[in-house]
Amino acid sequence: MLNISHLTYRIGARVLLEDASVAINAGHRVGLVGRNGTGKTTLLKLITGALSPSEGEIDLPKRWSIGITSQEAPHGPKSLIQTVMSADRELVDLFAEAETATDPDRIAAIHTRLADKDAHTAEARAAVILAGLGFDEAAQQKPCNDFSGGWRMRVALAGLLFTQPDLLLLDEPTNHLDLEATIWLEDYLKNYPGTILLVSHDRDLLNRSVDEILHLENSKMTLYKGGYDRFEETRRMRLEQNEKQRAKQSAKRAEMEGFIARFRAKASKAKQAQSRIKMLEKMQPIAEHFEEGSISLMFPEPEQLSPPLINMDRVAIGYNGKPVLSNLSLRIDTDDRIALLGANGNGKSTLVKLLAGRLEALSGDFSKSGKLRVGYFAQHQTDELDMNATPVLEMQRRRPQDSETALRSHLGRFGFGQQKAVTKISSLSGGEKARLLFALMTVAKPHVLLLDEPTNHLDMDSRQALAEAINAFEGAVVLISHDPYIIELTVDRFLLVEDGRVQAYDGDMDDYRNHLLGNAGKRMARRDDNANREAGGDSKAERKRAAERRQALGPLKKRLTQAEKQVATLEAERAKLRQAMADPKTYGKDVHRLLDMQKQFGQIEKSLTAAENEWLKLQEEWETENRAAS
């Protein structure tokens, strides 16, 4: 068991953890969540002993080995498979000693320990992990130095998983992964034999890979049963119950204070008054819950253009005359919400660069609207920012024709208030730099958003805000992301980039997940075998009928997805308006402003009811059609 008792940790005058306690049972998989800056990474370092607590204790079994994600990428001439295996220092030393040992007793001890560590399967286990993280057999034999920093960080993760520590501490392990490797990792962690403490802002990973959530908030830790969705629901209910109890206590206090004020000086009631004074002194007030300010993102509305925005016919794209993708035919319209699927290295980012105008087609017909404006986001753009500049200065350099007032107003859409707008970019967090890139790419009101891994460094609230902003955006969106939750929430069309081709993918994220894990193929084989035995083997005809059923249900699925997005958008609008109505600064002394907001709130409520009814109707129709098809 990992037992944390009365833990306090301070950085100068700032308190990250104060009298925090939690017990995590052996073999449990726990997700560690909390807003950026609350101390999640610090807690992991305290557990490893890299930091020492100001007060309190951290106890765990002495026999436990601890492994934590590395912040440094491995390097050197060794092959990837050798690099991963060398992460287990004991195994390396045992292999080396087995070559030179002469004492019979020591030789026996070495081989016993090698058997305990399944040494005969070590290379195969390392290969499986590397394959899951995106390295094929050829890549596994290449020197580590042949790969970029991002790929070598995957090798570091592979080495950690290979050592299989008793306590596995993972700090944002998906930051350098693509969607395919993320899905493999979530499946791997579900079956991990040790104890896991996982820091992540990936909602799907936390829903599928852990069985408890440890929430770090206001310097305290609270452990919840279940995945992230269950945590959110349980926490919401706790806060509502706490608020009810606080209101009840406040009313009781007011009643007692009123009695004391009236009868304290009256002789016949003096004893009762004194009794109530003592009760008040002993009554511990229930603290009011203060939520940190929520993040808001809002992409500006573009002017309307006639379709298509972009059109391609038999296009080839690549580098130095060598195509990466060929025979590409694609049309993008204003209402498109497209996710690009496929492993890293297959050409997703290459396609996005073509759409962004940063790469020319090698052949074929590529055309776009003459007035088209494109907003392009990629993580490497952070390196292009001037760290000594401020967000306002960066905006002015890109839009010298715009007034400072207009630029500050635009920055405000992305959470940059008056102070943050003039803070040096070098002092901004990773999430704030990402939001600055969102602001920079949309200042010209683009018609198409190209988002290449936009969620790195964003916490859970910021990811939710991004999803809402994408759904409210009036233009087209092309998205690459390793976060399945963002994909499921915002897109309704999938393109699979694989083997030098781009083609439509008709399934949903669950289908794609199963496809990657091999389950879809296994189920298809079993289904074909059964069909062969029972109906003479016409599996090809059955697959054709299944494809026809999926195609027939496609329009209904699209309507259902759009209805879900409409409900989500209206709920977000209602929440923002409710928050604004609760803030007197919004309308000041202008009563008419409040009346207008109340009228708008009523209209949103009415629209939301209609949208929810439409969604329920489509959901029922979808379930009925699926039952009939099966």
Please write the tens of the pLDDT for every residue from 480-500: 999 988 998 899 899 999 889
User: What is the overall mean pLDDT for the chain?
Assistant: 83
Whether 155 contacts 80, CB under 8 Å = yes
Q: At residue 535, does pLDDT exceed 50?
A: no
> 113-122, 356-365, 577-586 — which one is most confidently predicted on average?
356-365
For 298-332, the DSSP string reads -PPPPPP-PSPSEEEEEEEEEETTEEEEEEEEEEE
- Residue 558 pLDDT: 73
Q: Are residues 241 and 308 in the same domain?
A: no
Q: Are residues 216 and 241 in the same domain?
A: no
Which comes out higher in pLDDT, residue 413 or 598?
A: 413
Q: Do 265 and 210 sit in the same domain of this protein?
A: no
Overall domain count for the chain:
4
Q: For residue 119, what pLDDT band results from cuts at 50, 70 and 90?
A: confident
Q: Provide the pLDDT confidence category of residue 382 given band limits of 50, 70 and 90.
A: confident
More confident residue, 272 or 81: 81
Residue 287 has pLDDT above 70, yes or no: no
In this predicted structure, the answer to whether residue 326 has a pLDDT above a threshold of 80 is yes
Output the pLDDT for position 551: 60
Domain boundary pick from 188, 212, 230: 230
**Do both 253 and 310 map to the same domain?**
no
Does residue 31 form part of some domain? Answer: no
Q: What is the mean pLDDT of residues 155-177?
A: 92
Q: From 448, 483, 517, give the residue that closes a domain.
A: 517
Residue after which a domain boundary falls, among 483, 517, 551? 517
Residue 95 clears pLDDT 90, i.e. is over it: no
Distance between CA atoms of 465 and 297, rounded to whole angstroms?
6
pLDDT value of position 629: 55
Alpha-helical segments (H) within 264-417: 270-282, 348-356, 391-398, 404-412
**Would 17 be classed as within a structural domain?**
no
Q: Are residues 254 and 335 in the same domain?
A: no
Same domain, 601 and 491: no
Segment 2-60, tens digit of pLDDT: 999 999 998 888 888 999 999 999 899 999 998 877 889 999 999 999 999 999 999 99
- Same domain for 477 and 333: yes
Strands (E), 499-573: 501-505
Whether 524 shows a pLDDT value over 50: the answer reads no
Give the strand pairing for 29-33 and 212-217: parallel
Q: Are residues 456 and 426 part of one domain? A: yes
Q: Is residue 299 predicted with pLDDT exceeding 70?
A: yes
Do 155 and 186 fall into the same domain? yes
Average pLDDT, integer, range 365-374 = 92
Q: Residue with structure tokens 């991004």?
A: 466
Q: Which residues span the domain enclosing 327?
A: 293-517
**In CATH, what number is assigned to the domain containing residue 224?**
3.40.50.300
One domain, residues 237 and 225: no
> Distance between CA atoms of 574 and 556, rounded to whole angstroms?
27
pLDDT of residue 545: 56
DSSP annotation of 39: S
Listed residue (533, 42, 460) closest to 291, CA to CA: 460
Say yes or no to pLDDT of 601 above 90: no
pLDDT at 615: 77
Q: Is the pLDDT of residue 531 over 50?
A: no
Rounded CA-CA distance 510/342 in Å is: 15
Do 123 and 161 sit in the same domain of this protein?
yes
Whole-structure pTM value: 0.69
Q: Give ∠ CA 133-136-137 in degrees, rounded to 5.
A: 130
Per-residue model confidence as pLDDT tens digits over 234-262: 888 777 776 777 677 677 777 777 767 77
The answer to whether residue 246 sits within a structural domain is yes
Tens of pLDDT, residue by residue over 548-568, are 555 666 677 777 778 777 877
Who wins on pLDDT, 280 or 521? Answer: 280
**Does any domain span residue 27?**
no
**Residues 391, 364 share a domain:** yes
**What is the average per-residue pLDDT within 316-321?**
91
The per-residue pLDDT for 588 is 61
Q: Between 391-398 and 404-412, two packed helices, what is the crossing angle to 10 degrees?
A: 120
Q: Residue 66 has what pLDDT?
A: 93
